[in-house]
Amino acid sequence: MKYSFSDALLGSCALLLSAFFVRYALHSLIEPYAPFHFFIVACLFIAYLYGYQMALFATLVSAVAGSFFFVKPYFTFNSAGVTDVIQFLNFTSVTVISVLVIEKLQRMVYAHEMVLKIMESRYKISLYRENDRIYFSKKNNESWAILEEILVDFEDIILLQFGDGGVKLEPLFMTLAACHPPALVRETWHTWIQPDDAALLLANLQQPVQAAGQVHEMTLRFSTDPQAKPHQVALESFMFLGKPLKILRLSHA
């Protein structure tokens, strides 16, 4: 967790004051022992929460405050004995080493967290790429399946309709309708089919594709004569390259 400089300074001061008041409240019970112990705890908390810089500054303040208020003679820096100097050096060395160790550990933890985040992001990227690969592979397989559907038994295809384009008539249509291309106008091809059957076919050609590979069976008479022989046909619907594709072919059922 990151803190601003002002928040870190206020938090450090609050911890140092707490340590001071606790030690001051217990002074009559534990003097002249442990003049710096509560400050050690405060400095370690500061190192953990606000970083080593604030902790080192707090160590300096604690050394001065502890020596002045809780080391005999109290409220003075004069007449420091060997024991006082040893206590002072023990406090500063132990606290500084502990602060630096905490900083080292926190940096290691941060580095490990960054490595884990990078690994997680790379794992997600690899998953996205794998999903994309599977998606495009599936699309390619679907496209090849549709092409195979067109190419296999191609001679049974009567007409094709792709996207918003017009109908593409195949030679089989001319054969069934007993007409020749010069006699056939593209916009009026349906007039060569019995009117009721043509209306049914046009209605189905205009229907949106609900599901890939759906098949609609019907009978068509490729003649204006109501007594003409009906042919069983199948209208197959697909989505090909993002557009609807409809294939009308003779049914083998």
pLDDT tens, 185-209?
A: 566 788 888 888 888 888 888 888 7
Q: What per-residue confidence (pLDDT) applies to 139? A: 62
pLDDT tens, 49-62?
A: 999 999 999 999 99
Q: Nearest to residue 68, comparing CAs of 42, 95, 36?
A: 36
pLDDT tens, 1-44?
A: 678 889 999 999 999 999 999 999 998 888 888 889 999 999 99
pLDDT at 247 over 70: yes
pLDDT tens, 119-157?
A: 999 888 888 888 777 766 666 666 666 666 665 667 788
Question: Domain coordinates of the chain in residue numbers?
Answer: 5-118, 153-250
Q: What per-residue confidence (pLDDT) applies to 171? A: 82
pLDDT at 115 over 80: yes
pLDDT tens, 64-101?
A: 999 889 888 888 877 667 877 888 888 999 999 999 99
Q: What per-residue confidence (pLDDT) applies to 239? A: 79
CATH of domain 153-250: 3.30.450.20
pTM equals: 0.51
